[in-house]
Chains A and B, each alone.
Chain A
Amino acid sequence: NAGVTQTPKFQVLKTGQSMTLQCAQDMNHNSMYWYRQDPGMGLRLIYYSASEGTTDKGEVPNGYNVSRLNKREFSLRLESAAPSQTSVYFCASSLQGSNQPQHFGDGTRLSIL
């Protein structure tokens, strides 16, 4: 069982470059999420998609865009990367509802120079 798959696992960018982080889940989940993890700050929600066809801002959306391509895939785009976006990015998915546990990918470690 693959669960939640994130690509790439590591990436180094220069300031101003753009890139898209990919996420796919094979659990037939309705909801998908993008988080960033920084030391001492836990996980902060960037964007989420409660169901296919909808996306909403989370706690820290500035500098990011998302696309819910279909039920399986939810991508995160950095249009013009900044050093402050150096972080570990996690994608998660769940069945719809706040009582549903989220299942996480292994993360993308992104460094912006």
Chain B
Amino acid sequence: AQSVTQPDIHITVSEGASLELRCNYSYGATPYLFWYVQSPGQGLQLLLKYFSGDTLVQGIKGFEAEFKRSQSSFNLRKPSVHWSDAAEYFCAVGASSSNTGKLIFGQGTTLQVKP
């Protein structure tokens, strides 16, 4: 069965510092991987996605993520964090063997940005 783990529940970084949010997945085949961001009181917005090909994917708002099959990871990175990046971030995995569109979400990581 698929599963997603985000090991860090809460992360605090200073504005301008680099950021890495961790995501580990469990799935037998090549997964479809997504990162979403949720601002307070809002729905989820897609940051980026990985299906195949280049393992480093670029997303919106200056975010990127790297798929590492050997580590079953899909970590999200940003070189310089802005105060507006404070939000909750979710990693999700979809099954390439299924056409249902179902996603499994991680528990989420809350990012706090210090001025």
Contact = CB atoms under 8 A, between A and B. Distances in A.
Q: Is the interface of B mostly helix, strand, loop or mixed?
A: loop
A66 interface: no
B34 A101 contact: yes
Interface residues of A, number: 29
Contacts, number: 74
A40 B107 contact: yes
Contacts of A44: 105
A40 B102 CA distance: 20
B26 to A, nearest CB: 15
Contact of B101 (A4, A41, A97): A97
A42 B105 contact: yes
Contacts of B43: 4, 90, 92, 104-107
Give the size range of B's interface with the partner: 20 to 34
A98 B96 contact: yes
Given A4-B43, A104-B44, A98 B101 contact: yes
B108 A99 contact: no
Interface stretch (B14-22, B45-53, B77-85): B45-53
Nearest to A30: B101
Interface of B: 4, 9, 32, 34, 36, 41-46, 49, 51, 90, 94-96, 98-103, 105-108
Interface of A: 4, 31, 33, 35, 40-45, 48, 50, 56, 58, 90, 92, 94, 96-107
